Amino acid sequence: MKKKIEKIKGAAYHYGVQLVAVGALTGLFAGTVVTLYTALAALSEDFARGVYAAIRSNPAFIPLLFLALAAGAVVVGGVVKAIPMIRGSGIPQTEGATRGLFGFRWLRVLTGMFATSLFCIFMGLSAGSEGPSIQIGGACGYGTSELLRRNATVRRYQITGGACTGLAVAFNAPLTGMAFAFEEAHKRFTPEVFVCAFSSVIVGVLTRNLLRPLMGLSTGAFLTTFGFATPQPTDYLYILFAAALCGLAGVGFYFAVLGAKKCFGKIGFLKKTGVMLVPFLLGGACALVTPNVMGGGHELISALGSFGAGVESVFSSPVWVTLLIVLVLKFLLTVVNMGAGVPCGAFIPMLAVGACLGALVSRVCMSFGMDSVHCDLLILICMATFFTTVVKAPITGVVMVVELTWDFTFLLPVILGVAVGYLTGDLFRTEPIYEKLLKDFLVERPASVKRFTVRLRVGERSLGNGRAIRDVLWPADSLVVEVARGARRIVPDGETVLRAGDVILVRGEREDGKAFADLLASTVGEALEVTEETDPQESAER
């Protein structure tokens, strides 16, 4: 018995060392690529702002601008049609790959998302770089495991490590990256996910902070224009009011995205490559109205600190009118981009929408007696609340705003706001937006999905040996339906502990039964048999 325990510990140790080593390489690879990508994204946004400023001064060039936007839309539409994995922010597809639902050609996805998302920013769209950074990082993790010839389970961990590294590097927020791995990518905690995320993120962020000074770029915090004061008990009424409004706005945003996606799905112009014309032309028109809607929204959010004094006025209007115009346009552009599947990020645009809403709500609260020192606090709370309502990732939302400021003064108010936003989403029965988009992506894939049952033998040195079923990172939507231990048949639950020599039956729906069996075998041992199940009703009809 003692010898068996030692063998299990040895296997776990060997597996852990492998994850740390490969995770560090993933962090180095993803950190380098994403740092380069975010630097180029910032340059592209600055260039686009300069071009649009010149066109505003010389309106004769506006027709030429829209001609270029239309051509760019058709090109991007063609690329997205050829590489469906880069549609939208790429986050739902990356989450699907981390859960073992499908694979992808990592180099094609990496280069495709890298180029097209930069092009969208270059064209002046309301496009962020954080979502693409997650997919680019995930592709780097996939590539690392492929180049090192790791098994399917290790590949899933490395996609996770690369994805959370991409987010951490884009925001310079390592804790946010790791929270994303647990809460969004896998929606569960296991020691292996932690080890992989930790090693990848730490190396990735260190790589970022070494490379950016060499590029002449800052490594500092994002929100440096904000100041906070400790709220008094009466101020929590304003916080609840702001959070409730943001929660309702988040619900509206969620249904608007789904509605836009449905409408764009009916467009067949230019063999569906013309679907990008609307977001490109609309984005260009709005960018001519105000530069505040261009790019992801980093500059907009920073400008909202200290009463929004840094926000560029629209048509010389008062600050509150400018904020209202920017809010409406940013909301509309983000909805259209997500609905059409433009390869760009919506992470920061969603935060920017929440921040604009917070700036407006803070002015309303001031008219009812709120001290002006809490305006920046309300903006941060609204950012986190709006994000949480849409994405349903409360821990990530809280950790993110704390890391963006490194100020813990507002931690309790932010948690309260996020809780209100999450409950508001639940009240209207919304799903996490990326979960919903992933489901739609799976339905839209042309490959047929079949149900398979795989019979496996638990190996002595496998990751599953000695673990409860709930502690094993199974592929998504798979179910252990039986455990055979000698002549005994066990109907398992989450507490059932697997032992070497057990023969288990796992059921799941996949496109390829062999790939499903290989993925399971890399986790628990040897695949003995793969059986394709037939629907009883279909059999009767035949």
Amino acid letter, residue 175: L
457 shares a domain with 343: no
For residue 278, being part of any structural domain is answered with: yes
178 shares a domain with 107: yes
352 shares a domain with 256: yes
465 shares a domain with 404: no
Q: Residue 531: which H helix or E strand, with range?
A: strand 525-532
Q: Select from 214, 248, 280 the last residue of a domain.
A: 214
Quick count: other Cβ atoms within 10 Å of Cβ 522?
19
436 shares a domain with 298: yes
Which pLDDT belongs to residue 307? 57
CATH code for the domain of 510: 3.30.70.1450
Q: How far is CA 133 from the centre of its chain?
A: 9
Which pLDDT belongs to residue 541? 42
- The residues near 295 (Cβ < 8 Å, ≥ 6 apart) are 45, 48, 49, 121, 126, 127, 128
Q: Select from 408, 441, 474 the last residue of a domain.
A: 441
458 shares a domain with 426: no
Amino acid letter, residue 92: P
CA gap 289, 68 in Å, rounded: 18
65 shares a domain with 36: yes
For residue 133, being part of any structural domain is answered with: yes
Task: Name residues of the chain where pLDDT drops below 70.
Answer: 1-16, 186, 189, 220-225, 270-271, 306-310, 446-448, 534-542
CA gap 291, 326 in Å, rounded: 9
312 shares a domain with 244: yes
Which pLDDT belongs to residue 308? 58
CATH code for the domain of 331: 1.10.3080.10
Q: What is the pLDDT of residues 271-309, one digit of tens each?
A: 677 789 999 999 999 999 999 899 888 888 888 876 556
For residue 226, being part of any structural domain is answered with: no
Give the 3-state secondary structure of residue 136.
helix
391 shares a domain with 283: yes
Supply the range of the domain harboring residue 265: 235-441
For the chain, how many residues are written?
542
Residue 531, strand partner residues: 453
CA gap 21, 86 in Å, rounded: 28
Residue of 168, 119, 121, 174 lying closest to 140 (CA atoms): 168
For residue 220, being part of any structural domain is answered with: no
For residue 371, being part of any structural domain is answered with: yes
Residue with tokens 């929408």: 353
Q: In total, how many domains does the chain have?
A: 3
Mean pLDDT of the chain: 85
pTM: 0.86
Give the 3-state secondary structure of residue 266.
coil
For residue 380 the two structure tokens come to: 């941060």
End-to-end Cα separation, the chain, in angstroms: 53
Which pLDDT belongs to residue 542? 37
- The residues near 239 (Cβ < 8 Å, ≥ 6 apart) are 231, 377, 378, 381, 413, 416, 417
399 shares a domain with 486: no
246 shares a domain with 319: yes
Q: What is the pLDDT of residues 368-406, one digit of tens each?
A: 888 888 888 899 999 999 999 999 989 888 888 888 877
Give the 3-state secondary structure of residue 372.
helix
For residue 225, being part of any structural domain is answered with: no
CA gap 359, 118 in Å, rounded: 29
- The residues near 398 (Cβ < 8 Å, ≥ 6 apart) are 384, 411, 414, 415, 418
Q: Select from 413, 441, 469 the last residue of a domain.
A: 441
Q: Residue 488: which H helix or E strand, with range?
A: strand 488-490
Q: What is the pLDDT of residues 427-485, one digit of tens each?
A: 999 999 998 998 888 887 766 677 888 898 988 878 788 888 888 878 877 888 888 88
CA gap 444, 341 in Å, rounded: 13
CA gap 42, 296 in Å, rounded: 10
Residue of 112, 121, 111, 110 lying closest to 159 (CA atoms): 110
CA gap 108, 85 in Å, rounded: 9
